[in-house]
């Protein structure tokens, strides 16, 4: 049995001055019991806690560490920038380089604005959509999470599901009165809203949901969504904070055959540093200050260190082109989970898209938030702790995606297979 004594000590110590001893609720282990791990260091595909335990990391800081931990090219770029300066409150050439790199691989994105997080990106996208259309209402999908901005923190997935909260205290009714909820993969639920309201500015969607587990849109749903929003003069805002550069060098929307009016990004484009972005065609982005009257600002936006990390990450990612490897490894993991579950009379279904994957402990194919909520979370809890004991670190929630990195080796895949098989047996027991 692994020892977690030092993590327990730090957890107890942190309770004095930190809320729940964490700075984000998804780091807490509330849904699986026990206390969170405290991590000391990481390298490649591995992460190490303060007790010296080693794990294959399938959390990867919830997505951005696509090259694994401590990539030499990224370290070199960041180190060089650190010596040149941390932050200037002024423009740098690297902002231009990264903006050109990103816009070149997203159709319909002429200009981009860097911010500090995915939450900032989606909050800004709401304001921009309203400024462009002159309308106020937005539609989001139950189970999709777009950050903790007031108007989007309704029927959110991820941590909101974990804590069984329908919304959040401190969010006034007026903040969400213009937010309409539709069901993922149900185009009729969107059409109903469009028929009842003529003041809808935008529809927000994760092209592949990652905060109710990995949930993939049907081809007819996603393409019909693009069609009807265009016809209604409603902007389609595609939140690729999680999916951006994870299924291809660019966005998931390209694979799905759609083109967003506004795209939100984060995670990978910062290579592990805090960054977000929103981008669109010039007609829309020219409304943003200083060109237009839609105001949005940030002292640390386009931070030099984050820009250097982002450029190095995307450059290395382009050179490695790991996407076929991701698909192959995800397919192998899916087979391992399905086979080992069947051997132990456990009902699961597995969803995956590119380098994102997760099992649902349910016999039902999961296509929306309601399906996800029917999962057996007690079985997931047993699965989680057994994986941890066998050196595999996954998100401590049934409703979070797992992520693959380019550093996962054949040896790692063997460890993953053995750990998964043991974890399925532990559920049966």
Whether the CB-CB separation of 349 and 366 falls below 8 Å is answered with yes
Domain(s) labelled CATH 3.40.640.10 in the chain stretch across 72-319
CATH architecture assignment, domain 5-70+322-428: Alpha-Beta Complex (3.90)
- Given CATH 3.40.190.10, say whether it is the number of domain 72-319: no
pLDDT at 148: 81
| Residue 2 phi, psi dihedral angles, 5° rounding | -75, 150
Contacts made by residues 128-131, CB under 8 angstroms, sequence distance 24+: 128/262, 128/278, 128/280, 128/284, 128/285, 128/287, 128/288, 128/294, 128/296, 129/201, 129/202, 129/235, 129/237, 129/261, 129/262, 130/201, 130/202, 131/287, 131/292, 131/293, 131/294
Looking at residue 155, its pLDDT comes to: 58
- Three-state DSSP state, 69: strand
Residues 404/355, Cβ–Cβ less than 8 Å: yes
Question: Greatest CA span in the chain, whole angstroms?
Answer: 63
83 is catalytic: no
DSSP 398: T
Q: Tokens 């082109």 — which residue? A: 321
Q: What is the C-alpha separation between 164 and 30, in angstroms, rounded? A: 11
DSSP states of 299-358 as a string?
A: TTTT-HHHHHHHHHHHHHHHHH--HHHHHHHHHHHHHHHHHHHHHTT---EEEEETTEEE
Contacts of 102 (CB under 8 A, 6+ apart): 109, 112, 265, 269, 277, 279, 314
Respond yes or no: is residue 254 known to be catalytic: no
Active site residue 145: yes
| Residue 273 DSSP SS3 | coil
Residue recorded with tokens 């996603």: 222
Distance CA(103)–CA(86), nearest Å, equals: 25
Catalytic residue among 46, 57, 267, 376: 267
294: how many CB neighbours lie within 10 A of its CB?
A: 18
How much is the pLDDT for 429?
A: 67
DSSP, res 124: H
Q: How many CA atoms lie within 13 A of 42 on its CB side?
A: 22
Q: What is the pLDDT along the chain (429 residues), one digit of tens a residue?
A: 899 999 999 999 999 999 999 999 889 998 899 999 999 999 999 999 999 999 999 999 999 999 999 999 999 999 999 999 999 999 999 999 999 999 999 999 999 999 999 999 999 999 999 999 999 999 999 999 888 877 787 655 444 443 333 456 767 677 778 899 999 999 999 999 999 999 999 999 999 999 999 999 999 999 999 999 999 999 999 999 999 999 999 999 999 999 999 999 999 999 999 999 999 999 999 999 999 999 999 999 999 999 999 999 999 999 999 999 999 999 999 999 999 999 999 999 999 999 999 999 999 999 999 999 999 999 999 999 999 999 999 999 999 999 999 999 999 999 999 999 999 999 976
Q: Which part of the chain has CATH 3.90.1150.10? A: 5-70+322-428
**What was the pLDDT predicted at 52?**
97
Q: Catalytic: which of 11, 145, 184, 393?
A: 145
User: Is 144 within 8 Å of 151 (Cβ atoms)?
Assistant: no
Spot the catalytic one: 49, 57, 239, 261: 239
């Amino acid at each position: 049995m692994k020892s977690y004594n030092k993590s327990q000590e730090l957890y107890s110590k942190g309770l004095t001055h930190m809320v729940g001893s964490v700075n984000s609720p998804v780091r807490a282990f509330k849904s699986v019991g026990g206390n969170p791990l405290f991590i000391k260091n990481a390298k490649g595909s591995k992460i190490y806690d303060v007790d010296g335990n080693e794990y294959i990391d399938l959390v990867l800081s919830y997505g951005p560490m696509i090259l694994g931990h401590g990539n030499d090219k990224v370290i070199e770029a960041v180190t060089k920038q650190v010596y040149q300066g941390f932050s200037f409150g002024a423009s740098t050439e690297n902002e231009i380089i990264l903006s050109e790199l990103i816009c070149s691989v997203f159709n319909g994105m002429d200009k981009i604005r860097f911010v500090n997080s995915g939450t900032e990106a989606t909050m800004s996208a709401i304001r921009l959509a309203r400024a462009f259309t002159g309308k106020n209402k937005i539609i989001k999908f139950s189970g999709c999470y777009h950050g903790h901005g007031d108007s989007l923190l309704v029927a959110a997935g991820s941590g909101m599901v974990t804590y069984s909260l329908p919304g959040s205290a401190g969010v006034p009714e007026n903040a969400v009165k213009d937010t309409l909820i539709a069901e993922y993969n149900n185009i009729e639920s969107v059409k109903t809203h469009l028929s009842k309201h003529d003041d809808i500015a935008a529809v927000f969607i994760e092209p592949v949901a990652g905060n109710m587990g990995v949930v993939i849109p049907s081809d007819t749903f996603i393409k019909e969504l693009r069609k009807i929003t265009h016809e209604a003069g409603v902007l389609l805002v595609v939140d690729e904070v999680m999916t951006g550069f994870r299924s291809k060098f660019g966005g998931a929307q390209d694979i799905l055959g759609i083109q967003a009016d506004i795209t939100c990004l984060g995670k990978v484009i910062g290579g592990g540093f805090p960054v977000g972005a929103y981008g669109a065609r010039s007609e829309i982005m020219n409304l943003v200050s200083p060109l237009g009257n839609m105001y949005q600002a940030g002292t640390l936006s386009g931070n030099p260190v984050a820009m250097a990390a982002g450029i190095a990450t995307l450059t290395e990612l382009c050179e490695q082109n790991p996407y076929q490897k991701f698909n192959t490894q995800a397919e192998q993991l899916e087979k391992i989970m399905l086979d080992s579950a069947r051997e132990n009379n456990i009902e699961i279904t597995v969803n995956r898209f590119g380098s994102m994957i997760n099992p649902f402990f349910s016999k039902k194919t999961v296509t929306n938030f309601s399906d996800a909520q029917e999962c057996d979370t007690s079985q997931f809890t047993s699965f989680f702790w057994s994986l941890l004991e066998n050196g595999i670190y996954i998100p401590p929630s049934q409703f979070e995606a797992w992520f693959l990195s380019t550093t996962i080796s054949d040896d790692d895949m063997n460890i993953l297979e053995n750990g998964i098989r043991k974890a399925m047996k532990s559920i049966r027991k």
